[in-house]
Amino acid sequence: MSTTYNPYENAQIQFDNVAKSLGLDGGMCEFLRVPQKELHFTIPVKMDNGTTKTFQGFRVKHNIARGPAKGGIRFHPHETADTVRALAMWMTWKCATVDIPLGGGKGGIICDPPSLSAGEMERLCRGYVRQIWNQLGHEADIPAPDVGSNPQCMLWMMDEYETITGAHYPGVITGKPVGMGGSLGRTEATGYGCIYVLKSLLNLKGIVPESTTASMQGFGNVAEYAARMYTELGGKVIAISCWNQADSKAYTFRKADGCDIVQLVGIKDAFGSIDKEKAMELGYEVLPGDAWITQDVDILMPCALENQITPAVFPSISKQVKILMEGANGPTTPDCDPLIKDRGITVLPDFLANAGGVTCSYFEQVQNNMNYYWDKVEVLEKLEYAMTKAFRAVHELSETKSLYMRDAAYVIAIERVANAVKLRGWI
């Protein structure tokens, strides 16, 4: 019998476990385990066929003690308020872990992007902003892209905000197209950030990337650029699992001698779906969607959605796996962490590993506010420095206190946020 996991409850369990070990008082725990503000609203959209459809939207601010709320807007047919709450909470810890002056926020719209025309998407994006524009701002709450949304969506949203306010505010939203306030390097940032952290771990362990293999779930923006950099370093991606839009089913594309990432990018669509027929023509073995997790590789990279590594699937993970690099948000359930610890797998936790996206979004906001833009080399140098510094702090605490890497990252993040709350006099 399968277990149903609630991502918000998972996030709270993870927080509670570390908060207890830190000895946080009851008032602080009660405050930090729930969002500070939530907005639930409806968005009426005129569809291309002349009808009007109403969509449900969310915006959650988990904690703003360290700075304005920051977080993406997820467009997904199975979006829920609890998913948005969890993602906002993880964003608080993510910003604190990499030590950028922002708080945790997140948004969502219940919709199916592939089924919407460009016009319908634009009206939906603008409608979202009209509902909450007075809650946004580069000093209040800064949205960004997430699953199902993209730079064009962010530009429509920024334009709607500027239309309402009657002035230019490029820093109100990040993840915009380059040339319209977007930062060079932002597209690659989350995936590259994952590999900067992985490279740091491999260096500490004395392992050269060329000697490693990996299997990954997802082939959207995060997974694609993580795979690109990992293979450029010499690693081999043996298998990639992704959702197939054509038949609403996931498949794993496997090639024993290593996937050609550039080749696969050439046959994927805007939503990260690889063309199955073309992949077969190129010599890829097509397996069931969950086969990615059973591969005999050194590194597993879940880079899609939450709740993918559970006690139910853990026994199928190869004994060869030594590193779990969490490119997705919340891919591992709390009840699976003890199993991972017992087997000695090193976890690069999500809110450390995938913090490259929000870090580069912060860089974008800084550039917007200065009205001065850096070249790509400078952006990526700053990103690698920030990710490597964060990794070293987490790893050092993990080693000195004999902590699981996820717990070490939580300790750093929670202490920073709790200290900000205390200094402000909120508690």
Residue 43 near residue 132 (C-beta atoms within 8 A): no
Burial class (CB in 10 A: 0-12, 13-18, 19+), 179: exposed
Which tokens belong to 225?
């650029």
List the one residue out of 165, 153, 201, 167 whose CA is nearest residue 353: 201
- From the centroid of its chain, how far is CA 337? 19
What backbone phi and psi angles, to 5 degrees, belong to 406? -65, -45
Q: Active-site residue among 61, 70, 94, 106?
A: 106
Active site residue 94: no
Residues, the chain: 427
Which residue shows structure tokens 């997705």?
328
| CA dist., res. 324 & res. 198, Å (int) | 10
Alpha-carbon separation of residue 100 from 59, 158, 277, 358, 386 (angstroms):
21, 23, 44, 9, 9
Catalytic positions, written as ranges: 106
